[in-house]
Amino acid sequence: MRLLFDHGTLVLAEAPELEPGCVPGLLWDPRVALFRAPAWRYSEVRGALRHRLPPLRDEVRPNALAEPAAYGELSLRSYQRAALLSWELSGRRGTIVLPTGSGKTQVALAALRDSAARALCLVPTRALLQQWTSALGGVYGGSVGCLGDGRRDLQAVTVATFESAHRLMPRIGAQFDLLIVDEAHHFGSGVRDEALEMSIAPQRLGLTATPPNEPALSRLAELIGPTVYQLSIADLAGKWLSDFDLITVQLGLNAVERARYEDNRRVFGEYQRRTRRIDPDESFPDFVRHATQSPEGRAALSAWRRNRHLLHFTQAKAQAVAELLRRHRDSRVLVFTADNAAAYRIARDHLVMPITCEISRAEREAALAAFRAGTLRCLVSARVLNEGIDVPQADVAIIVSGTQGEREHAQRVGRLLRPAPGKRALIYQLATRATSEIWRATERRHGIVAASAARR
């Protein structure tokens, strides 16, 4: 029997008669008259076929990459060592949940060093691609490969964006023994899962600060491994993470904005009440799906979107941003907006550097370096700064608005928590009174502050 890799799947050639279900994931593919299994079940398939006759010849990797080079010294904090040990004891499969700023990358580097395996590190953004490549460059003795942001260089240790990995995994899925998945909460519920399914890597490490809810969590456990170690902000704040104050600033709408808001709310509310009468338990995604199928529903959704857009950057929020930037002109400030348009408006009005997906990698890196050095004192961003970017110098955040809910909020707050001597971070979240923003802000605040209070 020969086991081959075929475009993100495993193919069993010269196979004897096999009873159904005897090999996990193996199915008969009538299209090519061969047995086929998903690549991510490689270890199980190999294990199940090991003692069968005729003997199995593993040819999933006819042209393997070179062995990885050696790694340099790494120092780990006590909880990082504990996290790594938990992962190793779990058979090198699992997800480590640590708050933003606690050094998840350091744990990953130690895992790479200890496993000495050919490894692919998956990251969500181009900014993180660069950050990971630099971090690896500091400890890894060989050349670090890079897939994404216009580069396609495959090495024994390679960093890839999620998008590039998804596109290229049918070709490179057999090359790596270890997958490191940064910001692993992006997986488990979408098409991206296929990138993990098309890889044979038996060792897998997920990193996240904000694990997803069910059913995505179970799917993540299947594709990467279960949560093997978890700490919250409360566990680390004060010693390993900076202490912080979270202030919700309640603002109003001007007369024109209020009238528009109420108009839109009425259109949406009327439609929602009608549909709720038919199906009171309908989930929001189902509601949206049904709404897109009728003109009234589409109008309601459109009104709902207009309101969200209106609340992203109201006149009062613009004034509050101006006042807060004036008040903290000597601090290092991060401003988070819901969209790029608001980020550019703040950038123009207050002459602060925007960090968006439209700004080139080189310019973003230069801006982040200038921020760390103090030649820039404020950065404004919609999403790029949300995840992974390392700016320990930041001590004030202004969260103008968001679109991604609680997880995004936790990530943004986490940007401020990287510790520095004498630092106490200050986080302002702006919310508009008498709108849905208020209860969302309260919920988010409760989620983060309650954990810290419980610790004290």
Residue 18 or 370 having the CB closest to another protein: 370
Question: Applying CB under 8 A, which of residues 254, 349, 361, 403 lies at the interface with another protein?
Answer: 349
Give the whole-angstrom CA distance, residue 84 versus residue 105. 11
Question: Can residue 353 be called a binding residue for another protein (CB under 8 A)?
Answer: yes
333-336 vs 396-399, strand pairing mode: parallel
269: Cβ contacts below 8 Å, ≥ 6 apart: none
Task: Locate 69 and state its tokens.
Answer: 């080079």
Residue 378 or 416 having the CB closest to another protein: 378
Point out which span in 23-31, 273-281, 311-319, 382-390 binds another protein (CB under 8 A).
23-31
Helix (H), strand (E) at residue 34: strand 34-38
Question: Can residue 246 be called a binding residue for another protein (CB under 8 A)?
Answer: no
Helix (H), strand (E) at residue 373: helix 361-373
Question: Applying CB under 8 A, which of residues 134, 218, 360, 403 lies at the interface with another protein?
Answer: 360
Give the whole-angstrom CA distance, residue 290 versus residue 284. 10
Q: Give the total of residues touching another protein (CB under 8 A).
A: 48
Residue 25 or 252 having the CB closest to another protein: 25
Give the whole-angstrom CA distance, residue 396 versus residue 327. 11
Question: Can residue 14 be called a binding residue for another protein (CB under 8 A)?
Answer: yes
Please, which residues bridge with residue 426 across strands?
245, 396
Question: Can residue 393 be called a binding residue for another protein (CB under 8 A)?
Answer: no
- Cβ 360 to another protein, closest distance in Å? 8
Task: Mark 30-69 with x for binding to another protein (rule: CB under 8 A) and - for no binding.
Answer: -xx-x-x-x-----------------------x-------
Give the whole-angstrom CA distance, residue 389 versus residue 370. 14
CB atoms within 10 A of CB 47: 12
Give the whole-angstrom CA distance, residue 38 versus residue 10. 6
Question: Applying CB under 8 A, which of residues 128, 168, 234, 352 lies at the interface with another protein?
Answer: 352
Q: State the number of CA atoms in the 13 A half-sphere of 182 facing the CB.
A: 30
- Cβ 95 to another protein, closest distance in Å? 22
Question: Can residue 154 be called a binding residue for another protein (CB under 8 A)?
Answer: no
Question: Can residue 377 be called a binding residue for another protein (CB under 8 A)?
Answer: yes
Give the whole-angstrom CA distance, residue 60 versus residue 37. 12
Question: Applying CB under 8 A, which of residues 139, 217, 249, 366 lies at the interface with another protein?
Answer: 366
Burial code of 228-257, b = ≥16 C-beta within 10 A, e = fewer? bbebbbbbbbeebbbebebebbebebeeeb
Q: State the number of CA atoms in the 13 A half-sphere of 180 facing the CB.
A: 27
Question: Applying CB under 8 A, which of residues 245, 323, 363, 443 lies at the interface with another protein?
Answer: 363
User: Do residues 202 and 47 make contact, with C-beta atoms less than 8 angstroms apart?
Assistant: no
Point out which span in 141-149, 262-270, 340-348, 421-429 binds another protein (CB under 8 A).
340-348
Closest by Cα among 300, 311, 304 to 270: 300
Question: Can residue 339 be called a binding residue for another protein (CB under 8 A)?
Answer: no
- Cβ 213 to another protein, closest distance in Å? 16
- Cβ 194 to another protein, closest distance in Å? 5
Residue 166 or 444 having the CB closest to another protein: 166
Please tell me whether residue 428 adopts helix, strand or coil conformation. Answer: strand
Question: Can residue 270 be called a binding residue for another protein (CB under 8 A)?
Answer: no
Point out which span in 126-134, 194-202, 269-277, 390-398 binds another protein (CB under 8 A).
194-202
Question: Can residue 191 be called a binding residue for another protein (CB under 8 A)?
Answer: yes
Q: Is the dihedral of CA 269, 270, 273, 276 positive or negative?
A: negative
Point out which span in 120-128, 247-255, 285-293, 430-438 binds another protein (CB under 8 A).
285-293
Question: Can residue 170 be called a binding residue for another protein (CB under 8 A)?
Answer: yes
Give the whole-angstrom CA distance, residue 94 versus residue 103. 17
- Cβ 31 to another protein, closest distance in Å? 5
Question: Can residue 254 be called a binding residue for another protein (CB under 8 A)?
Answer: no
The amino acid sitting at 108 is A
100, 199, 344, 396, 453 from 351: Cα distances, Å: 28, 46, 10, 17, 37
Query: What are the phi and psi torsion angles at 54 (to 5°)?
Result: -65, 160
Question: Applying CB under 8 A, which of residues 299, 370, 438, 449 lies at the interface with another protein?
Answer: 370
Q: Where along the sequence are the contacts to another protein (CB under 8 A)? A: 2, 4, 6-9, 11, 13-14, 25, 27, 29, 31-32, 34, 36, 38, 62, 166, 170, 190-191, 194, 197-198, 289, 292-293, 298, 329, 344, 347-353, 358, 360, 363, 366-367, 370, 375-378
